[in-house]
Structure 1
Amino acid sequence: MILFNLSTKVKYPIFETMEKMLLKAVRFCLILMTVASCKKESKSTNTVVEQNDELVQYAVGFDIDKSGDFPVIHVTNPWPNAKQRFTYAFIPKDRLSKITFQKEAYDAVISTPIQNLVVTSTTHIPALESLGGLNKLIGFPDIRYISSMPARQLINSGKIKELGSNQSLNTEMVLEMSPDAVVGFAIDNQNSTYEVLQKSGIPILYNGDWTEQTPLGKAEWIKFFGVLLGKEKEADSIFKTIASSYNQVKELARTAKKRPTVLSGALYKDVWYLPAGKSWAAQFLADANADYLWADSEGTGSLSLSLETALEKGQDAEFWISPSQFTTYDDLINANNHYSEFEAFKNKHLFTFSATKGPTGGLLYYELAPQRPDLVLKDLVHIFHPEVLPNHVLYFFTPLK
């Protein structure tokens, strides 16, 4: 399937070495971590040229400061519950010799637009493609998880190199490549590879898109790449289009006359994992005007339940969304006969994103969904309220076979 990019007119196939981590832990639920958000004053003391009003509207993990002679990004939540903050300066090459600044005031100083870079999560790929920056990408860990066809063409032609895995990035190869920047993600502040690269003069830019708690918050990180690539206006335009599309579908869903009840998740080693009430996944269900049965639960991550608890509360749910890795009813029954006791199972109202894969087996949802939450919401609204969005063709989710 092909997605026509709304803003750049670039075709994008049907959004983590991150996926590798998620397939091990998040495969059985959509895990959203707690985000500690805080804004930070720019360390720069340059002349004011533009105010910061509404430069970042939905994301809480970063902000963009354009009050000085060059853009500054503050990453305030690089990983869950982070106490460390990062400040990055992005100085246009044609103005570098004309600007006076204190380099030690920033965690990294980047000359833009960059010529080449390394990224470490498949969620970074759609932003690069949308902004016409895939040709800057020279390396990626676990390239088999990338589903974008344009990116795979670059991989096949040898222009994007395999760099091992994010947890053990091939340091020697990265040092030899000497990229202008490495866009990394981390689950905490313990990453010896990043420390080695940074000490060698390669800037490390932490991207915390995966810690955002809202669909549009995740998508807004395209503006991070807009600054990095020197395409801020394009990034802003693309995000505005996505946000407008999402909000329009959300308002349309509110016109539905009924809010169907919804169950999610499945068992893994006798524990039923499903999204907590304030998670990213639960927000999608709320915006699709569905009655998620655990919407009132606390937390932004996942809940761990027994089969008995899930059955007691979710047995009569009208729909069952994202049943872990399962893609067929036979798979469910073979795993546990008790799955057949749920009404959604009996009525064949199960839908999964696990069956929609890229050419090398990567789950497309993990790569593209964070940047295109409007497509996710359209899928869910079509599933729950087909009369409201009758002509939509399911993109990520498919009925179980």
Structure 2
Amino acid sequence: MRINKILFTLLFLSLMLGACKKQSSTVIDNKQIADYDVKYAKGFTVNKMQGYTIVEVRNPWDTTLLLQKYILVDRDKEIPANLPQGTLIKIPVQSAITSSTIHCSTLKEIGALDIVRGVCELQYIKLDEIQNGVKNGAIKDLGLVNKVDIETIIMLEPEVIFTSPISGQSYGNIEKAKAPLIETIDYTEPDPLGRAEWIRFYSLFTGTESLADSLFDITVKNYNEVKAIVANVTTRPTVFTDMKYQSNWNQPGGKSYMANMLADAGADYVWKDDSSTGFLPLSFEAVLDKAGEADLWLIKYFAPETMTYESLKNEFKSYSYFNAFKTRNVFACNTQFSPYYEDLPIHPDWILKDMAYVFHPDLFPDYQPKYYSKVRE
């Protein structure tokens, strides 16, 4: 009887070892089990493998290099053997720190705002869930990104930290937390829909891929519908943007996402022939020379008071030299009250429609703008 038990035990162990060996070999094969089509974004790629997902973020400042390589593994399953090199993340993520309002807005959009345990730059976050969470202590205010409260971050023990890298700048103390940095470079995408597609990137970490895919499809549909309405307009108003800050006046590069949005909205952007994808730091004189006769002027500003032509002139008298000022064709968005910056990355379709209405109001007779309004006397 004892010999039979020993034989049964040996047989059982042999079967178990065989099953484990078979499971391990499928992982070693690195078999891709599903296609993942990134349609517009250039900054990330996804490969769905057996037992894990590879997410790569390219370096936007040197496209021959990777910025990050994440290996995503279901938190409720065994970690597969022989994973490729990369930063291991168990998904769905259950706790996170965010370093900008855009991270919070995107997480809210995909139903994952509840993972946020701490935020930077609280003063710029307009979401009631975050503001109320800080008031009741459920979410910690970590201060400014460049002066982050690292002791509180370490105490919170977040599984990940969402960050937005800037070329040539380090993260400083935030790296002492030892939590993986989820680096989002959506703002470097030249295509507005490419930037919006980063909602799908976030969803890979939060387990909300189906929701993100459906939301992104709606954005693409709405954006292309507005674009089609203005595609054949015979007259495109010339336009320039924003205001000078100290000695520079940053205008969007001619191949940047904002320049592309202005074109898609039916405008003739003054710097459309420029080849850069970033911003052009220009002097006031250079802007006046190029945009002095432009038809329209779009401004974003942050202030407790609504902009008027008088306040614009009081801020800098020479603004009154522009044709758009003289003809009263200045349109402004006060970002202290408007969620422009929160919506732009994930809802370019909404902002595109506002712009198209400004440029061609006759094509959108029943539309009520959400962001831009004509500056009053």
Between the aligned partners of 2:308 and 2:327, the Cα distance in structure 1 is: 14
- Write 1 or 2 for the structure with the bigger share of helix: 2
How much has 1:286 moved relative to structure 2? 0.7
With normalisation by structure 2, the TM-score equals 0.85
CA contact (8 A) 1:96 1:111 kept: no
The answer to whether residue 340 in structure 2 is matched with residue 365 in structure 1 is yes
CA contact (8 A) 2:301 2:335 kept: no
Question: Per the alignment, in what secondary structure is the counterpart of residue 226 of structure 1?
Answer: helix
RMSD: 2.2
Between the aligned partners of 1:176 and 1:383, the Cα distance in structure 2 is: 49
The answer to whether residue 56 in structure 2 is matched with residue 74 in structure 1 is yes
**Which runs of structure 2 are paired with 1:216-227 in the superposition (5 Å)?**
216-227=193-204
Over residues 309-362 of structure 1, what are the superposed CA-to-partner deviations in whole Å (9 max), with x where a residue is unaligned? 333332221111126668321122113333223221122211122x1424xxxx
Equivalent residue for 1:231, pick from 180, 192, 208: 208
Report the count of equivalent residues. Answer: 345
How much has 1:370 moved relative to structure 2? 1.1
The 1:237–1:196 alpha-carbon spacing in structure 2 relative to 1, beyond 3 Å, is same
Between the aligned partners of 2:66 and 2:206, the Cα distance in structure 1 is: 25
Over residues 119-148 of structure 1, what are the superposed CA-to-partner deviations in whole Å (9 max), with x where a residue is unaligned? 111111122111111111110112121012
Between the aligned partners of 2:180 and 2:285, the Cα distance in structure 1 is: 50
Equivalent residue for 1:176, pick from 147, 151, 155: 155
Tell me the residue number matched to 1:398: 373
Question: Per the alignment, in what secondary structure is the counterpart of residue 78 of structure 2?
Answer: helix
Tell me the residue number matched to 1:127: 106
Structure 1 unaligned blocks of 5 or more: 1-42
How much has 1:153 moved relative to structure 2? 2.7
Over residues 248-270 of structure 1, what are the superposed CA-to-partner deviations in whole Å (9 max), with x where a residue is unaligned? 11111113332111122333335
Letter in 2 for 1:91: V
How much has 1:49 moved relative to structure 2? 1.0
The 1:388–1:96 alpha-carbon spacing in structure 2 relative to 1, beyond 3 Å, is farther
Between the aligned partners of 1:280 and 1:114, the Cα distance in structure 2 is: 30
Tell me the residue number matched to 1:48: 32
The 1:238–1:310 alpha-carbon spacing in structure 2 relative to 1, beyond 3 Å, is same
Tell me the residue number matched to 2:75: 93
CA contact (8 A) 1:51 1:67 kept: no
Greater relative contact order (Cα < 8 A, sep 6+)? 1
- Greater radius of gyration (CA): 2
Tell me the residue number matched to 1:350: 330
Tell me the residue number matched to 2:358: 383
The 1:261–1:113 alpha-carbon spacing in structure 2 relative to 1, beyond 3 Å, is same
- The alignment-based identity, stated in percent, is 32
The 1:130–1:305 alpha-carbon spacing in structure 2 relative to 1, beyond 3 Å, is closer
Tell me the residue number matched to 1:311: 288
**Which runs of structure 2 are paired with 1:211-290 in the superposition (5 Å)?**
211-290=188-267
Structure 2 unaligned blocks of 5 or more: 1-26
Over residues 275-327 of structure 1, what are the superposed CA-to-partner deviations in whole Å (9 max), with x where a residue is unaligned? 22112221111111111111102312222334343333322211111266683
CA contact (8 A) 1:256 1:388 kept: no
With normalisation by structure 1, the TM-score equals 0.80
**Which runs of structure 2 are paired with 1:103-118 in the superposition (5 Å)?**
105-106=85-86, 108-118=87-97
Letter in 2 for 1:57: K
Between the aligned partners of 2:220 and 2:275, the Cα distance in structure 1 is: 26
Question: Per the alignment, in what secondary structure is the counterpart of residue 139 of structure 1?
Answer: strand
Equivalent residue for 2:268, pick from 268, 274, 291: 291
